[in-house]
Amino acid sequence: MTPIRTERLILRNWEDRDRDLFFRINSDDRVMEFFPFRRDRAESDTFLDRLRDGIAERGYGFSAIEIAATGECIGFCGLKEPDLDPVFPAGTIEIGWRLAPEYWGKGYVTEAAQAWLGFGFEALSLDEIVSFAVWNNFRSTAVMERLGMRRDPAGDFDHPNVPDTHPHLRRHVLYRLTRDEWKKQKRAAL
């Protein structure tokens, strides 16, 4: 992937130097509050390798977020096709993110996600990008709303991969943004 630069960030493919941070965010109870699992180091490394290979193949995915001024990796953001058949039809693209807690509340995810939306609608010519989260994950849904995504209550769903041991994590809310809506937002911001 060609790195994407924003005012403060570099969105790039994963590197071996990112493994410690990637493990930390995938095993941290605060970061993973709305997930029914935590990854150990081996699982985290395997997941990073899968993301890195997918990005190398497609040119996009859940990529590393690096602070440009320091070179520090702080989490990830990007686009990918959710593996949630039959919830989403083939070709659906979601935007998602995960960030180390010490970087929450600084606008990094919103900045990275805005860049990825631009990539999705301009470079990939997508008609729509979706995002979803556990119904009470208000930090993530607030980001979706800041991005101009609109809630689609008719699309809310019970996540098929959440085990019965975690019923409180099953219900997910769906947000959508079309290319036309995104273009209107861009024009209004000028």
Residue 34 belongs to domain spanning: 4-189
Per-residue pLDDT, 83: 85
Q: How far apart are CA 23 and CA 55, in angstroms?
A: 19
Query: pLDDT band for position 190 (50/70/90)?
Result: confident
User: What is the SS3 assignment for 80?
Assistant: strand
* 173 has a pLDDT exceeding 90: yes
Both tokens of 57, joined, read: 């193949």
Our count of domains for the chain comes to 1
| Mean pLDDT of the 121-146 span | 97
Share of the chain above pLDDT 90, in %: 94
Specify the pLDDT at position 107: 97
pLDDT, one tens digit per residue, over 14-68 is 999 999 999 999 999 999 999 999 999 999 999 999 999 999 999 999 999 999 9
The domain that holds 65 is classified in CATH as: 3.40.630.30
